[in-house]
Amino acid sequence: MSAHEEKYEAVIGLEVHAQLLTASKIFCGCSAQFGAPPNTHVCPVCSGMPGVLPVFNRKALELAIRLGLAAHCRIAPRSIFERKNYFYPDLPKGYQISQYQTPLCAGGYIELPGENGDAARVRLVRIHLEEDAGKNIHAPDCSLIDFNRSGVPLVEIVSEPDIRTPQQAGAYLRELRSMVRYLDVSDGNMEEGSFRCDANVSVRPRGAAALGVKTEVKNMNSFRHVEHAIAYEIERQIELLEAGERIMQETRLWDPDRGVTRSMRSKEYAHDYRYFPEPDLPPLIVTPDLVEQIRTEMPELPAARRARYTAELGLTPYEADVLTQERELSDYFEALLPGLDNRKTAANWVMTEVLRAVNESGRPLAEAVPAPAEVGALLKMVEDAAISLNAAKAAFAAMCKSGKGAQATVAELGLLQVSDEAAITAACEQVIAAEADKVAEYRAGRDKLFGFFVGQVMKAMGGKANPKIINEVLRRKLAAN
Amino acid sequence: MTTDACKLTIAQAQHLLRSRELSATELTRACLDRISAVEPRLNAFITICHEQALAQARDAERRLAQGDAPALCGIPLAIKDIYATRGVRTTCASKILENFVPPYDATVIARLRAEGAVFLGKANLDEFAMGSSTENSAFGPTRNPCDLQRVAGGSSGGSAAAVAADECLGALGTDTGGSIREPAAFCGVVGIKPTYSRVSRFGIIAYASSLDQVGPFAKTVRDAAILLRSLAGADPADSTCSTRPVPDYERALNGEVKGLRIGVPKEYFVEGMQPEVEGAVRAALRHYESMGATTVEVSLPHTDYAIAAYYLIATAEASANLERYDGIRYGLRVEADNLTDLYRRSRGRGFGAEVKRRIMLGTFALSTGYYDAYYLKAQKVRTLIKRDFDQAFARCDLIVTPTAPTTAFRLGEKMSDPLQMYLSDIFTISVNLAGLPGMALPCGYDRQGMPIGLQLIGPAFGEETVLRAGDAYERSGAVTRRPTVV
């Protein structure tokens, strides 16, 4: 802990915007798909033509409630949309339809996985629904606007200032992203902008109750950026305080190239948004029945899976955390399990072999590795001693490339172990006969020579004999005088 | 016959079109001829759709010939230029939309199109429906067909004048604080603002979303009932639109008012109102009594606060609704070196004085530090006004009042005094705040020969009661419609 860290404490709150996985936009029928040619997913409603009206996409409501339930929020039985007014070319109506005084979800918390299982909670202020704006594209001699994103449904997730370190901020974001992906609420893709984060950062002397002046940091496009930007901002604020200067309440942009935050011109954010209830939309009424229906359809969340992996499968908290971060990986792991006795082997396999294959190929899990049933069959062969662990690794590598099944690959590569006791006994007898001197030495007490005999038998059998049986037979034969 | 066809009521024209005594083309041509004759003096239209109207009439003729054509097939109408009409420029009487051609139809336009109605053109209005005289139009004021020196009322002044001058058989307007009823009263025609949510607002250029409502102008109450039936009904594109079934309003017109309890709010006979207006309304009430209705005094105690509440709520909503006119995607753009100046110049040059005044008022009412004192307080007043009506309707079936405190005033008379202008809507504004149906119909003339409008207010979704009472009064012959001067 540096001298600064001993003296000051950071107080961090995060605002995350996550794009909801709906087929169409929140207030019109246009596709919400990312990546289409500019201005091909637009209509009079999402381009703000005169006289048009929004119609709420109920799917967005379900997704937001799903996230709210997962984050232990109170779901408002009645909430309203409001208009947030400001002029910007990418905002076609001149106002964003959002929620202000009555968010759909209030309170709640996100549980962060602790390294030793000591979970930390970050409380939430609210989760509310809103529409996204379009996108300005600045060319050298003009500015262009793409309205494809205009009206795409978002949830804004606002945390309490419960976060104290950049690492915790990263852990919070990873957990939240993992949750939205488990829930199929959002794809959590930061690069495509479907998962965006702003941070409110302030520092105060340790032990102080009052909060320091905060800055809002924007433009962080990865978890790494978030951690770096917050760390930079904490350091900057502490240095200012140490130099006896005041911190300005302002919005700052993270500059990833230079690794610094810079002040945005105050003109751009000094807004009075003049929120007022959206008269074109009726209140959002959420019945207890709807909440219960959504609750019964909720998938298992990462926190619950972590708990189950440690309690039921006997994995360590670290293993449980690695395996559950991505739902796809976790699902893959679970699909391996049926028929296997040794869960630990399966867990290790996924954490090493599977993740390595994914990382090396640079492709998504489903494309990078064979179907879980095939890998399960491979691991079953190891368990049944039909093949060795090393043979299984070789087979796995081949399967990743060829896409062939476990049985076929093992046969093709000739990896099946010989467990025929008669054949192994014959080989053992041959080795004992050929190495009479060594046998004598062994029997005279040089126990270390046992491994030599095993190696000789294995060699004689082309490396495919079952080592367990070799051990048994050799012990018997060498002991028998 | 043909040259006078424009003077027909919709009910009469329906009969003649079906009996083949009159063709849709003859009828449309009669209206277009009339438009050509009187427009130079009236200026009721911003855009006249000569060719499109005749093409629609020819289509209607084919459908009529096949029999079983919908109610409004072949009926020529004027459309307030606040309705988005696909392929026809829609200006809202503003410079900022001077050349805006929507690629979509308002829901009610699509409905009327499907019925085979003929659209003669886009009628003049106060810019963005903000006004009570149609003098706030970027395309010049509309004149009153009963006296060309007087205003037609507003904001739907073009629609009202076009119906009064027989340029069309009926017209569409919108009413946010009286914009159908006041011009109907000033021009001596029938105009009904239905219950809020009765008619879809999709494609109606928004002024104040929680108050705007679509409604028809007509020469008779029966025609208004025929038009309203075609306009009303659920719309998946407007989530505030009611899904209640739409009654056959025409069938409600049985001429019967016996036992009808008419409430007369004491707050609506104020000092300073034109004595002839009060006289005519009181005479109408006596006429109702003679037909078997009873009258009872009721009280709407929060009436005094209605105008203030309205000008906070309506302008607050307008300040947001008009933000989309920014010079970026469509409409007027005045180029500038930077974004802020582009906004300032485009909006500065695009909007007229009254629109700017209301945007500023609404922006102020919503600003931090003022929201509670203005916007929120106004919403509370609105709730009290609604409650006033609920309590009054516990004692009566229908409320009858004057439509406006005076008959049509002279052009320019109130342009320099916005507050005086706002008072023109003193009897109509509460009805919008409460979301109720209200209808204006002629109940006499003043000494200058200017029409006086009676206002019938019903409970929510009480359009049948309003129309039945209006029709009974009209049919009793209490008032004879006088010819216009054009």
List residues of B with catalytic annotation. Answer: 80, 155, 179
- Mean pLDDT along residues B234-251: 98
Domain boundary among A246, A270, A292: A292
Between CA A177 and CA A163 the distance in angstroms is 16
Q: How far apart are CA B60 and CA B118, in angstroms?
A: 8
Domain that holds residue B89: 5-258
DSSP codes of every residue in B330-355 = SS-----SSHHHHHHHHHHHHS-HHH
What contacts A228, CB < 8 A, 6 or more positions away?
A166, A254, A256, A259
pLDDT at residue A11 is higher than 90: yes
Tokens of A107: 């309170």
Q: Does A162 score more than 60 pLDDT? A: yes
Q: What CATH number corresponds to the domain at position A435? A: 1.10.10.410
A263 with A137, same domain: the answer is: yes
Which of A276, A278, A284, A285 is the best substitution to test chain B (most B C-beta atoms within 10 A)?
A: A276
Identify the domain boundary among A412, A434, A463.
Answer: A412
Partners of A82 on chain B (C-beta within 8 Å) are none
- Do A451 and A386 share a structural domain? no
The first and second tokens of residue B131, run together, are 């006004």
Asked which of A28-37, A453-462, B92-101 is least confident by mean pLDDT, the reply is A453-462
Q: Are residues A138 and A255 in the same domain?
A: yes
**Domain contains B230:** yes
User: Could you tell me the CA-to-CA distances from A295 to A63, A106, A468 in Å, in that order?
Assistant: 11, 17, 50
Instruction: Report the interhelical angle of A449-460 vs A467-479 (nearest 10°).
Output: 120
Segment B70-74 shows an average pLDDT of 97
Residues A194, A305, single domain; the answer is no
| Position A117 pLDDT exceeds 80 | no
What integer pLDDT is reported at residue A480 of this predicted model? 66
Inter-chain CB proximity B84 and A51 less than 8 Å: yes
What are the percentages of helix, strand and coil residues in chain B, rounded to 5?
A: 45, 15, 40
pLDDT digits (tens, 9 = 90+) for B9-68: 999 999 999 999 999 999 999 999 999 999 999 999 999 999 999 999 999 999 999 988
Q: Of A365, A392, A412, which residue constitutes the final position of a domain?
A: A412
What would the pLDDT profile of B169-202 be if each residue is shown by its tens digit? Answer: 999 999 999 999 999 999 999 999 999 999 999 9
Q: Are residues A271 and A144 in the same domain?
A: yes
Check whether residue A63 and residue A141 sit in a common domain.
yes
Mean pLDDT of A235-257: 94
Find, in chain A, the residue whose alpha carbon is nearest to that of B337: A142
pLDDT at A269: 52
Distance from CA of B293 to the nearest CA of A (A): 38
The distance from CA B396 to its chain's CA centroid, rounded to whole angstroms, is: 25
Note whether B329 contacts A92, CB cutoff 8 Å: yes
Residues A397 and A339 in one domain: yes
A48 and chain B: CB distance < 8 Å anywhere?
yes
- Nearest residue of chain A to residue B104 (CA atoms): A44
> Given pLDDT bands bounded at 50, 70 and 90, which one contains residue A265?
low
As a whole number, mean pLDDT of residues A314-326 equals 91
- Per-residue pLDDT band for A466 (boundaries 50, 70, 90) equals confident
Question: Quick check: helix, strand or coil at residue B81?
Answer: coil
Q: What local confidence, expressed as pLDDT, does residue A390 receive?
A: 85
What pLDDT sits at residue A308? 94
In this structure, the answer to whether residues A220 and A99 fall within a common structural domain is yes
State the CATH number of the domain containing residue B186: 3.90.1300.10
List pLDDT tens digits, range B468-477.
999 999 999 9
CB A75 within 8 A of CB A65: yes
B217 domain residue, yes or no? yes
Considering chain B, what is the average pLDDT of its residues? Answer: 96
* Residue in A87, A274, A280 closest to B209 by CB: A280
Q: Is residue B223 part of a domain?
A: yes
Contacts of B98 in chain A (CB under 8 A): none
Average pLDDT over residues A364-390: 89
CB-based contact B323 A93, cutoff 8 Å: yes
Which residue range forms the structural domain that includes residue A426? 421-479
Q: What is the pLDDT of residue A267?
A: 47
Q: What percent of chain B has pLDDT over 70?
A: 99
Give the nearest partner residue to B363 out of A44, A54, A274, using CB atoms: A274
Q: Is A53 an 8 Å CB contact of chain B?
A: yes
Write the pLDDT tens digit of every residue in A182-203.
999 999 998 888 999 999 999 9
What is the mean pLDDT of the segment spanning B128-147? 98
The mean pLDDT of B362-383, rounded to a whole number, is 96
For chain B, how many structural domains are there in total?
1
Are A113 and A147 members of one domain? yes
Report the alpha-carbon distance of residue A173 to residue A167 in Å, rounded.
10
Q: Which one of B103, B240, B366 has the shortest CB-CB distance to A282?
A: B240
Total domain count, chain A: 3
pLDDT digits (tens, 9 = 90+) for A417-431: 777 888 889 888 899
Across the range A205-226, mean pLDDT stands at 93
Same domain assignment for residues A428 and A402: no
Confidence of residue A436 (pLDDT cuts 50, 70, 90): confident
Task: Supply B463's token pair.
Answer: 């359009």
E strand or H helix at B19: none
Query: CB B329 to CB A47 under 8 A?
Result: yes
The answer to whether position B306 is within a domain reads no
- Distances in whole angstroms, Cα of residue A378 to Cα of each of A86, A328, A332, A336, A363: 60, 20, 14, 10, 22
Q: Both A331 and A190 in a single domain?
A: no
